[in-house]
Amino acid sequence: MLRRMNTFSGQKLAAVVKELENFAPTSWAEKWDNVGLLIEPHREKQIKKILLTNDLTEPVVKEALEKEVELIISYHPPIFKPLTRITQSHWKERVVAACLANDIALYSPHTAWDKKSGGVNDWLSKAVNILSIRPLEPELGAPPGTGSGRYIETKMELSQVVESLQKRIKNSVHVALAVGHTPKTLIQSVGICAGSGASLLKGIQADLIITGEMSHHEVLEFTHNNTTVLLCNHSNSERGFLHEFCPILAKSLNEECLVFVSEEDEDPLVTVASDINKELSAFVDVYKQLDPA
């Protein structure tokens, strides 16, 4: 990386932020969100190295310092609730302090990227063979395909979707079968929301929903409404988009900045799974006992 560094002339922070806004205007973000440029260094530096991460954890900050980046793009906003102090007593405060002390700029796109056509939800949707796709809640005044969540028409067996999703997120998937569903059930409609999708997906009529996380009681609501639930763990349902975005950003900056994805960023939950078909069959057996018909 160091040898290649000499070839990067870099760009001004304002020019990089402009490209990020061009990709997904922060005006699309939810009202409750906190997006855009969150830290602007006191001493302006030419932006030559840009680190992409899903979450700005302390290991990721350490990586940013070691790799001497000038800008971190963190999908989730590292500053969300107002900070009343910046001390060393809490990890979130230490993260902000480290950026400030080292003149590292910080930008967060969050729900603007969720809504973007070709953004986070569309990345996750590619786990499904798509016959048709539309946002669950279209964004008014934005280009077609922009909006929250996705509703997809498809024709796939449930076990095929599970397998395909596992490959997409490079991780194991939690499966909550709807009463009466089996691994062979033909899935014709899918609701998708990367991250925590229960409130957006609530009440939709679909054979299957895919999201990152959901509470026990929310899962039961879906499985008793003929909807099977696939959960990938929150950030696993989002992180893969960074790899898709990396070359897009580099190109929009005329390859004048080195853009790369963090090696330290990962979901805090690790799922230990055995053979997925065996597990699904076990679920089906339980349901057969409940309903002999």
Residues 195-214 close enough to bind Zn ion by CB under 5 A: 195
Considering only residues 113 through 132, tell me which ones interact with Zn ion, judged by CB under 5 A.
none
What letters, b where the CB count within 10 A reaches 16 and e where it falls short, cover 166-186? Answer: bebbebbbbbbbbeebbbebe
CB of 290 to Zn ion, least distance (A): 34
Q: What track of x and - describes contact with Zn ion for positions 166 through 195 (by CB under 5 A)? A: -----------------------------x
Could you tell me whether strands 49-53 and 258-261 are parallel, antiparallel, or unpaired per DSSP bridges? Answer: parallel
Question: What is the total count of residues that contact Zn ion (CB under 5 A)?
Answer: 1
Nearest CB to Zn ion, comparing residues 47 and 169: 169
Write down the least CB distance from residue 195 to Zn ion, Å.
Answer: 3
Our CB check for Zn ion shows the closer of 55 and 207 to be: 55
Strand order in the sheet with 174-176: 132-138, 147-157, 186-196, 208-213, 228-231, 174-176
Q: How far is the CB of 282 from Zn ion (least distance, A)?
A: 30
CB nearer Zn ion, residue 154 or residue 236: 236
Residue closer to Zn ion by CB (options 228, 237) is 237
Residue 117, φ and ψ in degrees, nearest 5: -70, 120
- Closer Cβ to Zn ion, 10 or 195, answer by number: 195
Do the bridges between strand 174-176 and strand 228-231 make them parallel or antiparallel, or are there none, so unpaired?
antiparallel
User: Which stretches of 116-157 are DSSP H helices?
Assistant: 120-125
Q: What is the residue whose two structure tokens read 């290649």?
A: 4
Residue nearest to Zn ion (CB): 195
Taking the complex as a whole, the smallest distance from the CB of residue 245 to Zn ion amounts, in Å, to: 15
> Are 184 and 158 a contacting pair, CB within 8 Å?
yes
> Rule CB under 5 A: which residues touch Zn ion?
195
